[in-house]
Structure 1
Amino acid sequence: MTAPDPVRAARALRGAAAGILVLEGIAVLFVPRGIAQSGPGLTGARLTALLVLAVLLILAAGLQRRPGGLLVATALQVPLLATGLLNSVMWFVAGVFLLIWLYLLQIRKELLGSPFREPAPRQPTPREDGDPAA
């Protein structure tokens, strides 16, 4: 099944992807609190890595309008899942976000034909372009 207006569907799916990325960035910002109370604690390297990941996820949300934005965001799902190494609860949280991301890519594939390719604008039919002769 493809969307009747692929450009509009792609725009809506980009918005959904941006929203998911912002939520992921916010979730990563909660991790330092959990790390500080367990194991070796919150080191400077761990805090820096988590802050960089949170900023990258939020910046990737802004990149969703660009052609490579979806690829960048998909690549950032791996370090998000790796935050489970720092705090075991993040295996679950990042896993849920990863499943949502995969579902979004599946919807893109169904509606647009490909999860990463941008749709071509649809050609107007003779009735839509205002030509009375058609």
Structure 2
Amino acid sequence: MAVTLLLEAIVVLLALPVVGSVGGGLSAASLGYLIGLAALLILLSGLQRRPWAIWVNLGVQPALIAGYAVYPAVGVVGVLFTALWLLIAYLRAEVKRRHEPGLASPDGSG
């Protein structure tokens, strides 16, 4: 999950030149938003051992989707990463469920 957050931060930072040249240009607000969001994602990557981290990761995604106001492609990236985080949360829950006593068979078949 930490690597996913770092990749997400890289993608957000890669939006800087796109917003600067293709979008309406970088304003102080859009620059602060993108750099601040990337910094938050990097900070969160160090907190992934906490049991609540997955929910914080999901909670940050609406802030990235709101980047549609900065440039529509940023919002699309937010939607894609939200889908990825939902998949990660589902897989995490499924692994936890299967590790409950009596559900996992000794031969690993299910």
Please classify the TM superposition score into its range, dividing by the shorter chain length: 0.7 to 0.9
Match of 2:88 in 1: 104
- The answer to whether the aligner puts 1:24 opposite 2:24 as a matched pair is no
Which structure's CA Rg is the greater one? Answer: 1
Aligned to 1:76, the other structure's residue is in SS state: helix
Amino acid at match of 1:50: L
Amino acid at match of 2:33: A
Aligned to 1:73, the other structure's residue is in SS state: helix
Match of 1:81 in 2: 65
Amino acid at match of 2:16: P
1:92 CA drift (Å): 2.7
When the two structures are superposed, what TM-score results if normalisation uses the length of structure 2? 0.79
Q: Percent identity?
A: 35
Query: CA separation of 1:27/1:39 partners in 2, compared to 1, >3 Å: closer, same or farther?
Result: closer
When the two structures are superposed, what TM-score results if normalisation uses the length of structure 1? 0.66
Q: Structure 2: where are the runs of 5+ without partners? A: 102-110
Aligned to 1:60, the other structure's residue is in SS state: helix
CA distance in 2, matches of 1:90, 1:50: 9
Aligned to 1:66, the other structure's residue is in SS state: coil
CA distance in 2, matches of 1:59, 1:84: 23
CA distance in 1, matches of 2:23, 2:62: 23
Query: CA separation of 1:40/1:110 partners in 2, compared to 1, >3 Å: closer, same or farther?
Result: same
Amino acid at match of 2:84: I
1:39 CA drift (Å): 4.9
Structure 1 residue corresponding to 2:50, chosen from 66, 87, 102: 66
1:36 CA drift (Å): 1.2
Structure 2 residue corresponding to 1:51, chosen from 35, 49, 52: 35
Q: Which has the higher contact order (CA 8 A, sep 6+)?
A: 1
